[in-house]
Amino acid sequence: MFTSTGSSGLYKAPLSKSLLLVPSTLSLLLALLLPHCQKFFVYDLHAIKNEFQIWRLICGRIICLDLKDTFCSSLLIYNFRIFERRYGSRKFASFLLGSWVLSALFDLVLVEAMQYSFGITAASNLPSGFLAPVFALFVPFYCSIPRVQVAQILGPLSITNKTLIYILGLQLFTSGSYIWIVAISGLISGMCYDRNMFQVHQVLCIPSWMAQFFSWTLEPIFSSSEPTSEARVGMGATVDIQRQQRMEQLDRQLMLSQFAQVRRQRQQQGGMINWNRLFPPLRQRRNINYQDGQQSEQQVSPPPEVSEEQVARLMEMGFSRGDALEALRASNNDLNVATNFLLQH
């Protein structure tokens, strides 16, 4: 179910790794060793507005005081790391910063609207932590990550590659009485930043000098090594299934190495990628597995027609139309395969 977010760990995602380690570690320290210091990290809009404790806008919106929120938000950040690989660390950090700042304004508006309309005072009961940007990431996740069916349940109901992540979001959404205020403000801020309303991309962004500074200082600390190519075999799998999984893994390794080599050549010489060189092992494997008779290379069927809807979905993720067309043709219109290879490289 996590196929939509890749399977390369935290490789090429140093910011996501830092957001996983630093706030989670501080949250555990406050909960287990320093409970008397938790009062400094309470997100209290009443104190901010009436006592001018502006510092709570920062301290109260970084570290979760509830360990359940820490666990759920960490899992979501791990799965949303794909956006750092897609956008780059600077643009990903700008999105988080923009949604973090905008959500503080929307929190205040929603709290005042609740008190004015229903007489409900929630200013002192908002959950602490880096929660609003996590909810904001559901906007690009919904809009740009393709939905691939994994299993059919009942009638139109099905499990997709995005189901478990939505369940995690729902768990976080229902973890507290007033966390829905933070969730709604995060979603609104995510839509504002994703649509570039009010020119927020130009106003709320990470300067290039700051991005370069953190790249020199913090990226070596939080960078992860390239994942190993060892194939994972599920427990209880038969010998044939294990053999098939390992063969597919070897095909995937070969395609990735060929893809990287051709991309380097294209960067040096210019021009389009020759996708026909990248996918012959997969095509041959499918011919071996799913056809009764052996076919020669001269009898290969013409490339299938590519769905414009699938091309549009890949283009929405930032890939060119040419690469999207060739990836879909080479993967026999398998959107999941094409997406995984394009996203990881």
What domains are defined for the chain? 14-223 (1.20.1540), 307-344 (1.10.8.10)
Contacts of 24 (CB under 8 A, 6+ apart): 70, 74
What is the spatial distance between Cα 36 and Cα 60, in angstroms, rounded to a whole number? Answer: 15
Q: Shortest CA distance to 125 belongs to which of 54, 59, 60, 50?
A: 60
What is the spatial distance between Cα 329 and Cα 275, in angstroms, rounded to a whole number? Answer: 9
Q: Shortest CA distance to 145 belongs to which of 131, 166, 126?
A: 166
Share of the chain above pLDDT 70, in %: 73
Q: What is the mean pLDDT of residues 250-262?
A: 60
Q: Shortest CA distance to 318 belongs to which of 145, 156, 201, 181?
A: 145
| Whether pLDDT at 15 is above 50 | yes
Count of residues in the chain? 345
State the first-to-last Cα distance of the chain, in angstroms, to the nearest integer.
21
Maximum Cα–Cα distance across the chain: 80
Question: What is the overall mean pLDDT for the chain?
Answer: 79
What is the spatial distance between Cα 275 and Cα 323, in angstroms, rounded to a whole number? Answer: 8
Q: What is the mean pLDDT of residues 179-184?
A: 95
Q: Shortest CA distance to 328 belongs to which of 315, 309, 310?
A: 310
Higher pLDDT, 201 or 227: 201
| Whether pLDDT at 281 is above 50 | no
**With 0-12 CB in 10 A as exposed, 13-18 as middle and 19+ as buried, what is 175?**
middle
**With 0-12 CB in 10 A as exposed, 13-18 as middle and 19+ as buried, what is 35?**
exposed
Q: What are phi and psi of 130, to 5 degrees?
A: -85, 65
Helix (H) or strand (E) holding 304: none
In the numeric block, which tokens belong to residue 327? 């990836």
Higher pLDDT, 153 or 72: 72
| Whether pLDDT at 132 is above 60 | yes
Q: What are phi and psi of 153, to 5 degrees?
A: -105, -75
Name the residue type at position 160.
T
What is the spatial distance between Cα 5 and Cα 1, in angstroms, rounded to a whole number? Answer: 9
Q: Specify whether the CB–CB gap between 182 and 103 falls below 8 A.
A: yes
The tens digit of pLDDT for each residue in 203-251 reads 889 999 999 999 899 888 998 886 665 444 444 445 555 555 565 665 5
The tens digit of pLDDT for each residue in 314-336 reads 776 767 788 888 788 877 777 77
pLDDT on residue 284? 46
Higher pLDDT, 252 or 109: 109
| Whether pLDDT at 294 is above 50 | no
What is the spatial distance between Cα 335 and Cα 325, in angstroms, rounded to a whole number? Answer: 11
3-state secondary structure at position 18: helix
Number of H helices, E strands in the chain: 18, 2
Of the pLDDT bands very low, low, confident and very high (cuts 50, 70, 90), residue 3 is: very low
**Taking the mean position of all CA atoms in its chain, how far away is CA 83?**
5
pLDDT on residue 298? 45
pLDDT on residue 231? 43
pLDDT on residue 199? 86
- For the question of whether the overall pTM of this predicted structure is more than 0.75, the answer is no
Of the pLDDT bands very low, low, confident and very high (cuts 50, 70, 90), residue 1 is: very low
Q: Shortest CA distance to 76 belongs to which of 158, 190, 153, 181?
A: 190
